Amino acid sequence: MQTEPQPSAVTTSELVIVADRLTTGYYREPVLQEISFAVPRGALVGVIGPNGAGKSTLFRAIVGLLKPWQGRVLVGGRPARPSPDIAYIPQIHTVDWAFPVTVWDVVMMGRYPRLGLLRRPGARDRELAERALEQVRMQDFREKPIGALSGGQRQRVFLARALAEEPSILLFDEPVSGVDAPTQHFIFELLEQLCAEGRTALVASHDLSCVAQRFSQVLLLNRRMFGFGPPERVFTEELLNQTFDTHLLLLRYGDRVIVVESPEDGTSAC
């Protein structure tokens, strides 16, 4: 893990992720069309859009699991491909929580890709896993089976696994859905700290009421891109309504913006 703070990295505009007219999808159906944006190092980017907007698809393209049909995605200047340098934290429901593994086992998995075939984890790997657990404040849960954890604890463990991987880019898919408010704030504080240290994080969310203000940049996505930029510029009633294709209510309290979706959407406000 890179522990030395790199404030210079945040200020320079080194672009770590560049999407250039990206179109991709599954089978013959394009999910994303003509997506173009550039993420500088150290950014904390919110990828905001309704369910089915293609947020996970975008992450898969950035990780290199989906090839662009048109356009391209560059990560660190090169075409995206799977690598331990990018940690992808999928939505927690994609994982079988009945699996007989403990918190420690899961965090340790973050070290596997760095180890290579046939090598067993050593002292340094255990040290890194231990530090990752401490960073997410889960060190007391290391022997717990993951099936016994709450939603928020599961997200923390996933984050710890990603940290143990020592990535420079984190892709976090829906970290706040089904998670209690204190954990949401804890996760975002940690992400802000990681970004301040020079890592780059992309966070997907369909729920923008609580976390919207914490991003340095926001990508509004619903199969097409509806906006990209700092939240104060992108979170306009017009863009949000275009993105969510529904009537949203923006409430401003001083410098805070609260967005309320129409109730039949079932999206929870915090």
Partner 1 sequence: MLVELLLEPLRYGFLLRGLAAAVLIGVICAVIGTYVVLKGFAFIGDALAHIAFTGIVVAFLAGFVFYLGALMAAVAAGLGIGLIQRRVGLRTDTAIGILFSGIFALGIVLMSVGIKTYTVDLFSYVFGDILSVRPSDLLVILGLGGLVLVLIGLLYKELLFVNFDPVAAEATGLPAGALQLFLLTLLSITVVASVQAVGVVLVVAMLVTPSATAYLLTDRFHRMTLLGAGFGALSAVIGFYLSYFLNVPSGGTIVLVASALFALVAVLSPRRGQLRLLVRG
Q: Given the rule CB under 8 A, which residues bind partner 1?
A: 60, 63-65, 81-84, 86-90, 94-102, 105-106, 109, 112-113, 115, 117-118, 120-121, 145, 147, 158, 161, 165, 171
Distance, in Å, from the CA atom of 220 to the CA atom of 49, rounded to the nearest integer, reads 6
Question: Quick one: DSSP state of residue 265?
Answer: G
In the complex with partner 1, the residue whose CB is nearer, 100 or 263, is 100
Tokens representing residue 237 in the block: 């009633």
> Residue 133 burial by CB count (10 A; 0-12/13-18/19+): exposed, middle or buried?
buried
Return the structure tokens found at 182. 């204190």
Residue 82 CB, nearest approach to partner 1 (Å): 4
Angle of helix 151-164 relative to helix 181-196, nearest 10 degrees, comes to 20
| Cα–Cα distance, 37 to 53 (Å, whole number) | 16
Q: What token pair was written down for 87? A: 């940690």
Distance of closest approach, residue 118 Cβ to partner 1, in angstroms = 6
Half-sphere exposure of 246 (CA within 13 A, CB side): 16
Rank residues 93 and 247 by Cβ distance to partner 1 and give the closer one.
93
* Residue (98 or 182) nearer to partner 1, CB: 98
Please give the C-alpha separations between residue 246 and each of 92, 127, 169, 199, 261, in angstroms, as whole numbers: 27, 48, 32, 34, 8
Q: Write down the least CB distance from residue 107 to partner 1, Å.
A: 12
Decide: 51 and 58 in contact? Cβ < 8 Å. Answer: no
Which of residues 159 and 210 has its CB atom nearest to partner 1 in the complex?
159
Between 163 and 220, CB nearer to partner 1: 163
Looking at the Cβ atoms of 80 and 212, the one nearer to partner 1 is 80
Residue 47 beta carbon to partner 1: minimum distance, rounded to whole angstroms: 16
CA 152 to mean position of chain CA atoms: 15
Minimum Å distance from CB 136 to partner 1? 16
Helix (H) and strand (E) counts in the chain: 9, 12
Smallest gap from Cβ 242 to partner 1, in A, equals 29
- Cα Rg of the chain, angstroms: 18
Decide whether 106 or 201 has the Cβ nearer to partner 1.
106
Q: How far is the CB of 104 from partner 1 (least distance, A)?
A: 10
